[in-house]
Every structure is written in C-alpha cells, then in structure tokens.
Amino acid sequence: MIGEKMAKQIIFADGNDFLRRDGLAVEPAAWEDGMRTDAGPGTFEWWYFDAWLDDGSTAVIVYATKPLRQRNDPLTPMITLTITRPDGSKLGTAPLVYPADQFKAAQDCCQVNIGSSWVRGDLHHYELHAEGKELAADLTFTGQAPSWRPGAGKTYFDNALSSYFAWLVPIPYGQVEGTLTYDGKTHSVKGAGYHDHNWGNLGLERVISHWYWGRAHVGDFTVIFVEIETGRSHGRQKIPIFMLAEKDRILVDKGQALTLKTADFQDHQSGKRYPRSLDFHWQASAGTVHIKLRQPRLIDTFSLLESMPRWKQWLIRLIANPYYFRFNAEMELDVKLAETQVVERGPALYEFMLLN
C-alpha cells in the first residue's frame, strides 16, 4: 500500500507514489493554489488570508465556495472580511453570500473572483481586494518563507483513497502592505501575513472531533504546528502536522514525531473548555523542537452555526455545538538540531476548532 496508514482508515498522503498520483513535484507549484474542486455538492474549498499590521489592526479574509457546514449545497460563493481596529474592537464578521454566477476561479493559478472581490497570486506574491459592509481591504502579500504542503497535501479517511481533506500553505510567513477601509476612512497599513488553501470532499464534522492549529515567526524562524484529533468513527486518532523553516530553508517538515500536551483548562460561556497551556514537542533522530505556549489572550470566538438560519441552528444544537476559538499567546521556541541550536521567544497565533 502506498503512503503511511494510520488506524481506523486514516492515510496520510506522503511519499513519491502519492506525489505522482496527483501530478505533484516535491515543491509546490503555482497551479496547486488554483481551484481544486468542481464546487459541486459534497465538496468545499477556501482561500484564507490574514494580516497582522504594525498599527495594531488585523484583517482576515476568506474566499470560499460555500459555508463549511453546508458542503452538500451547490456552489454558494461567499466572502468573509473581518477587520479588528487597533483598540481590539472587531468589525464585519457575517459572511457575504453571492449568486453562483458571480463566482469565477482559475485552475492554473490562484485567481478567484466573488462579486466585486478578488484575489490573484503565484505562491510568492498575492494581490487581493475584498469588500464587506462599509469595509474593504486592498492588500499585497509577499512571501518571506518557502511555500509548503505536508507531503502530498492530503489526508484520506478511507482505504479507497476517495474521501480527503487537503491543505496547501503558499505563504507561511510574508510581508503585507496596502490599505484597510473602515469607519469611513482608508488607512494605509503594513505588517506580516499568512495565506493557506484548503479543500476536500467529506464532512469534516463527521470525521474530526477538533484541531489545534498555530503559526509564528520569531527571529529567523517560521513554524506551523497542528494536531488534529479524529472523531469516534475513526478511533480518536491524532494527526500531527509540523513545519519549521529558518529564513528560506525548511529544517523540518515531517510531523509524525510531533506530540501535544494541554493543561490548565478554562471554562467558556459557550459551555466549551479550552487549555491555557500547550506544549508541542517534536523529537526524531535529527534532534528536538519544543514549542511552549503560555498566557493566551482570546481574540476571537464564534459558533460555526452563526451563518445558518435560526431554525437550523436550533436543530443542530440538539446534537452538536461546533465552536471556534482564536488566541494570541507568548511562545518559546527551543530548537536543538545538529546544525541549529537556538531559543527564540515571541508572539504566536493559534486556534482551537471544535467541530462537534
């Protein structure tokens, strides 16, 4: 069998056979950030961008073929544009949904149009325009760390290799500049940013219980750390994903040796709980990497049901209450590899997504 098989029909697409299966080279190519699904019933796809700016403001922009929990719908293109002012107050969280005929996307590169909003890029350089209610973002992202995907970029949830969740990270860390429009004014901004692209053809809430996903750039190092835990149907298996780069060179990109310990849980008014202490540890023959996350500050939280009609929210809450938490935390990165031994400290961004 090709690839590495995990218990309960989870197969992580790694190795040359999987690369050949999808026509991939070891390093990502620009076409991979083009449209990867047909946007029909049963599929989902989104292009995600976020920017952390020197004036203290932030922007999160998502171009999607449909809401995440409505994958069985036909093409239902949507934009979300969220701007946080320098004082921490948030603007514009409701998704803007458009008719299907106002969606267009290329397959040979990232070029997505939804209504009057658009994004285009080539893995290294991206330009985007996004409009919301009395909000707008006109930003340029330029990559400063190598584009990356874990293996062939897919995790399969069946032996037939037909049901999958895929991930590409064109810009793990980059520079951002441009303008944000809010409160009736256009603000010139610059800072740091991130872009990734996800797609798939299965209900994530049916196979995944929750995930922790985080990223940071400290000193010369860019790091992405993820632990996905599957649901009962797949035996509560853990899927680790990890990337560490120094400047333009990837040092570690095999996540199998990554583990996570959580502690100091905090109750939330939603009825959910989240940890305030997280330790990711990677250990292999090449050495160790330890990521310590402390003093998290909750910067965003919402129910994944908010975009649904109220009657549907009520029905789903009878059996599930999917919730999203986003944090900014203090991070200590301790790298002990053969040619690199360093400790760096700085801020990290991470999320805790509970899908059921």
pLDDT 10s digits, 229-267: 999 889 999 999 999 999 999 999 999 999 999 999 999
CA 85/CA 182 separation, integer angstroms: 9
Q: Assess whether 169 and 183 both reside in one domain.
A: yes
Q: Assess whether 175 and 262 both reside in one domain.
A: no
Domain-ending residue, one of 146, 178, 202: 202
CA 80/CA 92 separation, integer angstroms: 8
Q: Assess whether 16 and 83 both reside in one domain.
A: yes
Q: Assess whether 241 and 321 both reside in one domain.
A: yes
Contact (Cβ atoms closer than 8 angstroms) between residue 155 and residue 10: yes
Q: Is 141 a residue whose pLDDT tops 80?
A: yes
Q: Assess whether 171 and 263 both reside in one domain.
A: no
Q: Assess whether 174 and 284 both reside in one domain.
A: no
User: Which DSSP string do the residues of 40-51 spell out, in sequence order?
Assistant: -TT-EEEEEEEE
Give the residue numbers spanning the domain of 344: 206-356
| Residues 86-125 pLDDT 10s | 999 999 867 899 999 999 999 999 999 999 999 999 999 9
Cα 175 versus chain centre, distance: 18
Averaged over 63-79, what is the pLDDT? Answer: 92
Cα dihedral 62→80→177→116 (10° resolution): 100
Domain-ending residue, one of 157, 173, 202: 202
Instruction: Scan for tokens 């200590």, then name that residue.
Output: 332
User: Which DSSP string do the residues of 45-100 spell out, in sequence order?
Assistant: EEEEEEEEETTS-EEEEEEESS-GGGTTSS---EEEEEEE-TTS-EE--S-EE--G
CA 326/CA 82 separation, integer angstroms: 13
SS3 readout for 116-147: CEEEEECCCEEEEEEEECCEEEEEEEEECCCC
Q: Assess whether 22 and 170 both reside in one domain.
A: yes
Q: Assess whether 195 and 304 both reside in one domain.
A: no
Contact (Cβ atoms closer than 8 angstroms) between residue 49 and residue 139: yes
What confidence category does residue 318 fall into, taking pLDDT thresholds of 50, 70 and 90?
very low
Averaged over 147-167, what is the pLDDT? Answer: 96
Number of neighbouring beta carbons within 10 Å of residue 331: 24
Q: Assess whether 178 and 264 both reside in one domain.
A: no
Q: Provide the number of structural domains found in the chain.
A: 2
Q: Assess whether 180 and 223 both reside in one domain.
A: no
Mean pLDDT of the chain: 92
Q: Which residues pair with 351 in a beta bridge?
A: 213, 326
Extract the tokens encoding 256: 């199998």
pTM: 0.92
Q: Assess whether 282 and 216 both reside in one domain.
A: yes
Domain-ending residue, one of 202, 234, 253: 202
Contact (Cβ atoms closer than 8 angstroms) between residue 276 and residue 266: yes
Q: Is 53 a residue whose pLDDT tops 90?
A: yes
